[in-house]
């Protein structure tokens, strides 16, 4: 089987040594390794002939231990995806919007503690969301815009990731267990074609402490992936899913390439690849895009 091992370094100066370490580790197991192909200043492909991708990944990850370099091992065929389906909070953006909203209500510590447990898979997402939203009862609607303006930023590489895939014909959808107020704005800023999220119930002046039902959680994110690929006449193998929390796990496991971005351990352990060091353009390099292909 023709595999490709993609390395993406946080610092371009670390790439050459990382490539050498991985090549030695993989070839040392008797695997045929081809010549490295530079994709960008901090990224390269290493072609490998092997019927055991899990073994190659294990060898590569061991060789990269202690280095600020991310790796993806996958079949060379079909690596460029037709659908990007991405989580929002702590993936495409820098914060958990609900935690930041809670700060405006004076209950951030309590809400953030529940968020942490829910994202780690220790609490059922739906119940945890209802509990946290209830703590925002009476918060003025002006706090939502202030929260977006003052707290929310796209993570490095997010806009380049989305706009590059879109420019090359992929459909890009933001799916979030958060709220449409934020996903609509973030989707526009990053260049997503569509967004799906939960709705905060309000009375025209303040939040009612309720969230619209049914709640978009783990299974709804998986359903979104399935519906989107079906609409494209594709299969889940044609999708790239990225997220960080337990409610992202079903879509990450179903996608042809499921990526854990700065993720909780329960997610990182199950994903096809992890991005712990580089920015979100790593997802482009994993698909074989070159830096000159990136959208400006």
pLDDT confidence bin for 72, thresholds 50/70/90: very high
pLDDT of residue 29: 76
pLDDT at 78 over 80: yes
For the chain, give every domain's residue range: 1-77, 80-296
Across the chain, mean pLDDT equals: 97
Calculate mean pLDDT across residues 122-131. Answer: 95
pLDDT at 30 over 90: no
What is 80-296's CATH topology? Rossmann fold (3.40.50)
pLDDT of residue 48: 97
What is the spatial distance between Cα 107 and Cα 114, in angstroms, rounded to a whole number? Answer: 11
pLDDT, tens only, 247-293: 999 999 999 999 999 999 999 999 999 999 999 999 999 999 999 99
Q: What percent of the chain has pLDDT over 90?
A: 98
CB distance 6 to 285 below 8 Å: yes
pLDDT of residue 184: 98
pLDDT of residue 207: 98
CA atoms within 13 A on the CB side of 24: 9
Calculate mean pLDDT across residues 3-26. Answer: 97
Tell me the helices (H) and strands (E) count for the chain, helix number first.
12, 13
Structural Rg of the chain based on CA atoms? 20
pLDDT of residue 287: 98
pLDDT at 124 over 90: yes
Question: Could you give the dihedral angle defined by the CA atoms of residues 95, 98, 104 and 107, in that order, rounded to the nearest 10 degrees?
Answer: -110
pLDDT, tens only, 199-217: 999 999 999 999 999 999 9
Q: Are strands 194-198 and 171-179 parallel, antiparallel or unpaired?
A: parallel
pTM of the model: 0.97
pLDDT, tens only, 169-207: 999 999 999 999 999 999 999 999 999 999 999 999 999
Nearest to 289 by CA among 154, 155, 164: 164
Question: Could you give the dihedral angle defined by the CA atoms of residues 100, 104, 106 and 110, in that order, rounded to the nearest 10 degrees?
Answer: -20
- Dump the DSSP string for 11-29: SGGGHHHHHHHHHHHHHTT
Q: Write the DSSP symbol of residue 144.
A: H
Angle between helices 97-104 and 108-119 (to 10 degrees): 170
Residue 59: CB atoms within 10 Å:
23
By annotation, the residues acting in catalysis are 87, 89
Residue 33: CB atoms within 10 Å:
21
Residue 119: CB atoms within 10 Å:
25
CATH number at 1-77: 3.30.70.600
Calculate mean pLDDT across residues 40-47. Answer: 98
Q: Any residues with CB less than 8 A from the CB of 3 and at least 6 apart, and which?
A: 47, 48, 49, 50, 53, 56, 73, 74, 75, 76
Calculate mean pLDDT across residues 100-107. Answer: 97
Q: Any residues with CB less than 8 A from the CB of 242 and at least 6 apart, and which?
A: 84, 85, 86, 87, 91, 248, 252, 258, 259, 260, 261, 275, 280, 283
Which secondary structure element, helix H or strand E, spans residue 91, and what is its range?
none
């Amino acid at each position: 089987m023709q595999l490709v091992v993609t390395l993406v370094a946080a610092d371009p100066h670390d790439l050459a040594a990382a490539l050498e370490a991985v090549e030695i580790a993989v070839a040392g197991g008797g695997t045929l390794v081809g010549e490295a192909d530079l994709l960008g200043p901090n990224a390269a492909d290493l072609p490998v002939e092997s019927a055991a991708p899990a073994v190659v990944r294990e060898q590569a990850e061991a060789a990269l231990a202690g280095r600020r370099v991310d790796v993806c091992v996958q079949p060379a065929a079909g690596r460029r995806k037709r659908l990007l389906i991405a989580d929002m909070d702590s993936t495409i953006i820098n914060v958990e919007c609900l935690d930041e909203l809670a700060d405006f209500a004076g209950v951030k510590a309590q809400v953030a503690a529940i968020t942490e447990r829910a994202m780690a898979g220790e609490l059922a997402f739906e119940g945890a969301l209802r509990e946290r939203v209830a703590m925002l009862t009476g918060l003025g609607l002006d706090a939502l815009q202030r929260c977006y303006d003052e707290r929310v930023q796209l993570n490095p590489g997010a806009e380049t990731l989305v706009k590059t895939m879109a420019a090359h014909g992929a459909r890009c959808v933001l799916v979030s267990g958060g709220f449409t107020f934020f996903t609509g704005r973030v989707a526009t800023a990053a260049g997503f074609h569509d967004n799906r999220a939960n709705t905060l119930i309000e009375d025209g002046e303040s939040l009612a402490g309720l969230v619209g039902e049914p709640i978009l959680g783990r299974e709804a994110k998986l359903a979104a992936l399935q519906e989107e690929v079906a609409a494209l006449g594709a299969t889940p193998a044609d999708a790239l899913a990225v997220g960080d929390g337990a409610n992202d796990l079903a879509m990450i496991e179903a996608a042809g390439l499921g990526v854990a971005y700065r993720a909780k351990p329960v997610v990182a352990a199950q994903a096809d690849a992890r991005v712990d060091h580089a920015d979100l353009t790593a997802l482009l390099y994993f698909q074989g895009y070159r830096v000159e292909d990136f959208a400006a």
